[in-house]
Amino acid sequence: MTDHVLIETAGRIGRIRLNRPKAIHALTEPMCAAVIDALDGWAADPAIEAVLLDHLEGRGFCAGGDIRMLAVSGAGDGAEARAFFRTEYRMNHRLFTFTKPIAAFMDGITMGGGVGISQPARYRVATENTKFAMPETGIGLFPDVGAGWYLSRLPGRMGQYLALTGHRLDGAECVALGLATHYLPADALEEAKRRIASDPQAIEAILDAVATPAPDARILAHRGAIDRLFASDRLAEIEAALAGDGSEWARGTLATLATKSPQAMKVSLKLLLDGRTMPTFEDEMRQEYAVACHVVQRADFIEGVRALIVDKDNTPRWQPERGEDVTEHLIDQIFAPLPADHEWSPQ
């Protein structure tokens, strides 16, 4: 167990409360293991009827995983990174397959690993503070923790846009895209949780009663352009479409893509292409684990973390530098299945 996640029961509900505020509740392997243990216990306990997932103090729900550790491990033998991914993805799968209702409160920064623990929940609550993103292409990684499943099922080509650009959504936009089920003012959250704790069978009715209409979702103004300009599953064709459009929005989006890892963007496009028809979430996590094991030891991830998180010079030197030099053979290597005795499994 770890003090970085508080596990408790209150009457008929189980509570998972992230408690690592100085790191915006970024996940560590012990935190993920503690969540797994809690869910396994509550699954078999008839006294627990629902689970609430939130955070204690701080400005975010969950900013992701322990990126510095992953980069240090990736620069070496990668063993610690692989162990983290294995446990984190098992937690993601437990949440996805948990039969009792889970309500996740995405109040504040919800990125990377925070997306992975909120999206499996039956009820996903956004607020005016929500900042939701999968920004991994900016550090040479890719949207993981099940994002190949979730983003590929968003309307139109919204998932491809979010995966490549790392665009941040606000709470209203999360509701509009189906990433959140309810929009609540942040000052109403504690009352909602109190009422759920007193009557866990009525979670949906309680959230419906406390929720307020979400503001207009600004991203919908660009829905047509996103569907049209991100229509291809080939990076070069998306970039050509943006370059040929001429609008200010397209120019800005193309400039954003120019800052991202070409390798990571191509990996992301294939991940979403495969994810759309992945038979089960377990299959999705098995593939994402193999991809993560390969990517975490490649130069782009180590360089991306150096440039954006360690040195903060924001000038990563990607290898390869150009999308056309990221070959299909390289992508095939990254997506190659692991040997049977190294594959991810839910248990």
Would residue 11 show up in a list of annotated catalytic residues for this protein? no
Ranges of each domain in the chain: 5-342
Q: Provide the pLDDT for residue 246.
A: 87
Across the range 162-173, mean pLDDT stands at 98
Mean pLDDT of 266-277: 98
| Angle subtended at Cα 301 by Cα 338 and Cα 95, rounded to the nearest 5 degrees | 60
Q: Which of 29, 54, 107, 136 is catalytic?
A: 136
pLDDT in tens, 8-28: 999 999 999 999 999 999 999
pLDDT for res 2? 74
Task: Choose the weakest-confidence range: 16-25, 51-60, 116-125, 209-218.
Answer: 51-60
Q: What is the pLDDT of residue 317?
A: 97
Report percent pLDDT > 70 for the chain.
Answer: 100
Listed range (56-65, 81-90, 124-133, 305-314) with the worst mean pLDDT: 56-65
> How many angstroms from the chain centroid is the CA of residue 122?
16
The pLDDT of residue 1 is above 80: no
Given this structure, which CATH class describes domain 5-342?
A: alpha beta
Judge residue 66's burial from the number of C-beta atoms within 10 Å of its C-beta, 0-12 exposed, 13-18 middle, 19 or more buried: buried
Q: Does residue 323 carry a catalytic annotation? A: no
The predicted-structure confidence for 194-225, as pLDDT tens digits, reads as follows: 999 999 999 999 999 999 999 999 999 999 99
Condensed to tens digits (0 to 9), the pLDDT of residues 138-167 reads: 999 999 999 999 999 999 999 999 999 999
Check 113, 114, 116, 140 and give the catalytic one.
Answer: 113
Calculate mean pLDDT across residues 163-189.
98
pLDDT bracket for residue 57 (50, 70, 90): confident
- Give the pTM: 0.96
Cα angle 263, 265, 270 (rounded to 5 degrees) comes to: 95
- Write down the catalytic residue from 29, 54, 107, 144: 144
Look up 208 and say whether it is catalytic.
no
Res. 59 pLDDT band, cuts 50 70 90:
confident
The per-residue pLDDT for range 243-271, each reduced to its tens digit, is 999 899 999 999 999 999 999 999 999 99
pLDDT of residue 108: 97
8 Å CB contact between 292 and 301: no
113 catalytic residue (yes or no):
yes
- Catalytic-labelled residue, pool 60, 64, 65, 146: 65
Mean pLDDT of the chain: 97
